Structure 1
Amino acid sequence: MRWWMFEGAIWFFLIAVGAALIEVFTTHRLKIKKSSTVFLSVLVLLVAWSVIFFGSFIEPRTLIVRSENYSLFAGVENLRAVLISDTHVGPYKNASWINEIVNKSNAERPDLVFLLGDYILGAEGDVRDLDRFGDLSASLGVYAILGNHDYDNDRDLEVQNKLESLGIRVLRNENEKIILSDGREFYLAGVADLWNDADLEKTFSGLTEADEVILLSHNPDAVLDSEIRLADLMLSGHTHGGQIRLPFFGAVSKIPTILGHKYDKGWFELNGLNFFITSGTGEMGPRARLFNPPEIVVLEME
């Protein structure tokens, strides 16, 4: 379904049910008091209306900062990275949202910022809304990869050029050595989107299993590739954590990966690799999030 179809359904429900509830409360109060069936029906509608309103307009605008710790490589400690993923500027999010993300990221005073793809939502996204990303501050640099939606309508080069014009290093099937202030070093590898022009062999070109490597991959399915043995840690987005989640159940919607529902958000280990999936900051499909607020992640590598 197109985004505007979800929007129409949400607004129709909120207006129609809201009007019905107002009518009931203003003209049929006695029926509510006298009939348990009517009371329960009204209560169900009221709860449904409240949940849909909160999930559509409150939680998606409640950006949280999530802290995670990870023991990286021997000798590498006190390294702070901020992970930002799936901003999806377009009909739901715009420049003001990017502004909030940048302010929260800079407040963490990170050494590195990793942008994990899906900056726009198809044809509707305006890359000019990303301009504030140029103000991201990190002592060791800001690095980005592309996600599947950045390729929609063949806009991948447009997105890449915009990011690079803002001083952001875009890794597209390549790697770069990161040298710390005390001379310690590791490699940062970034693979292009797995559904488009990803090439993990090229991404790890020149690296060996003896090198210490962090891989940025928008889609966590990269963990299933045999080349993954060259990575020590993978950081991903893409899943949105399902956007809508329920307690004790997890993601309601299907996770768009081969890995599936089990690997929706958080820390995992598979094929000898530890990897982290952030639920990101934006939405696609319905504008809704529930029990899964948009997040930027502060990764303390100790």
Structure 2
Amino acid sequence: MIWFLLLIAVLLLLAVLAEVIWETSFPKVVEVTIPTPKLQRGQELRILQVTDIHNLRWSEGFWQQMQGTKPDLIAMTGDLIDGANIPFDLAFSQIERLKTIAPDVLFVTGNNDWEHKRFDDYLAGLRARGVTLMDNTSMTLATPVGDLQIVGVGDACTHHHDIHQAMQNVTPDERFLLLLSHDPMIIRRGAGLERAADLILSGHTHGGQVRFPLLGAVYAPTQGLFPKYDKGLFQLDETTRLYICSGLGTSRFPIRFLNRAQVTLVKLVGA
């Protein structure tokens, strides 16, 4: 009987280990559809959100999956690197390849980006590769379905956000307004200005990394234990949605459980 129980325990341990390896090392593409009256019926805008890479290497198969999403633009919501003082070769090669998937790659910083000792060199390298840096600024982007207003804020977790500056040239109107913020808690630090956005895209939480049935995420940075805003789509009010992508990499503990690494294809569709 004891040997049988030991065998069951070993099998369960191996099953959990296999699950952790799968969830952590083999990312997927998640699709989220968001209807909006600011697009005409039949129109669709495809945004590939890539976040919290933390120097994770991707397989060729995953690259092909991302390429197959055929996005109109790529929104990167921070933590391309993990803050360690290491060369940027991997990060820059990933950026160069993402640029072949969509010409418009937009980026807001995350807390780990700011922690690197060569932060200025890092940003210069992103600019040199055609990335549009969106910290505390705004732009109007021409897309196949019309102009899109985009606002970005610096990382709120490390207090580099300035939403007043980001919004100063923005007039909410019939155009869809997209806000990029690494930390979803911009909804607590944006002085209400974030509610002008139709959609907020964030990362930072990693979906908690470790999740359990019914309980959800155990912990998320900035929010603490059992966070409310862990991953997925949240309706903040009648007009503003928040979407949190659990991202690709990990931090501190290099594991994920019941929370597979991911990028998200956000499809805005006319309603």
Say which of 162, 172, 183 aligns to 1:209.
Answer: 172
Compute the displacement of 1:44 (Å). 1.7
Say which of 205, 218, 222 aligns to 1:257.
Answer: 222
Structure 2 equivalent of residue 236 of structure 1: 202
Q: Which shifted more, 215-224 or 255-264?
A: 255-264
- 2:78 touches 2:113 (CA, 8 Å); kept in 1? yes
Q: Runs of 5+ in structure 2 lacking a partner?
A: none
Say which of 37, 44, 53 aligns to 2:9.
Answer: 44
CA-based RMSD: 2.2
Count of residues paired in the alignment? 259
Larger gyration radius, structure 1 or structure 2:
1
Q: Taking structure 1 as reference, are residues 186 and 289 closer, same or farther at Cα in structure 2, changes over 3 Å only?
A: same
Compute the displacement of 1:202 (Å). 0.6
Q: Taking structure 1 as reference, are residues 121 and 40 closer, same or farther at Cα in structure 2, changes over 3 Å only?
A: same
Q: Taking structure 1 as reference, are residues 100 and 171 closer, same or farther at Cα in structure 2, changes over 3 Å only?
A: farther
Q: Taking structure 1 as reference, are residues 101 and 176 closer, same or farther at Cα in structure 2, changes over 3 Å only?
A: farther
Structure scoring higher RCO (CA < 8 A, sep ≥ 6) equals 2
Compute the displacement of 1:280 (Å). 0.2
Give me the TM-score of the superposition, normalised by structure 1.
Answer: 0.78
Structure 2 residue 70 is matched with structure 1 residue 104: no
Structure 2 equivalent of residue 13 of structure 1: none
Q: For 1:30-51, what per-residue CA distance to the aligned partner results, in whole angstroms no more than 9, with x for missing partners? A: xxxxxx2342234223312431
Structure 2 residue 97 is matched with structure 1 residue 135: yes
Q: Which shifted more, 41-50 or 240-249?
A: 41-50
SS of the residue corresponding to residue 6 of structure 2 reads helix
How do 1:47-58 residues align onto structure 2 when only pairs under 5 Å count? 47-55=12-20, 57-58=21-22
Runs in 1 of length 4+ with deviation above 6 angstroms?
Answer: none
Structure 2 equivalent of residue 59 of structure 1: 23
Q: For 1:31-87, what per-residue CA distance to the aligned partner results, in whole angstroms no more than 9, with x for missing partners? A: xxxxx23422342233124313541x3321211111110023523531111111000
Compute the displacement of 1:250 (Å). 1.2
Compute the displacement of 1:162 (Å). 2.1
Say which of 220, 223, 238 aligns to 2:184.
Answer: 220
Which amino acid in structure 2 is aligned with residue 214 of structure 1? L
- 2:74 touches 2:102 (CA, 8 Å); kept in 1? no
Q: Is the strand fraction higher in 1 or 2?
A: 2
Structure 2 residue 248 is matched with structure 1 residue 281: yes
Q: Taking structure 1 as reference, are residues 85 and 139 closer, same or farther at Cα in structure 2, changes over 3 Å only?
A: closer
Structure 2 equivalent of residue 168 of structure 1: 131
Distance 1:72 1:118 in 2: 29
Q: Is the helix fraction higher in 1 or 2?
A: 1
Structure 2 equivalent of residue 8 of structure 1: none
Structure 2 residue 138 is matched with structure 1 residue 187: no
Q: What's the % identity of the aligned pairs? A: 27
Give me the TM-score of the superposition, normalised by structure 2.
Answer: 0.87
Compute the displacement of 1:125 (Å). 4.5
Q: Runs of 5+ in structure 1 lacking a partner?
A: 1-35
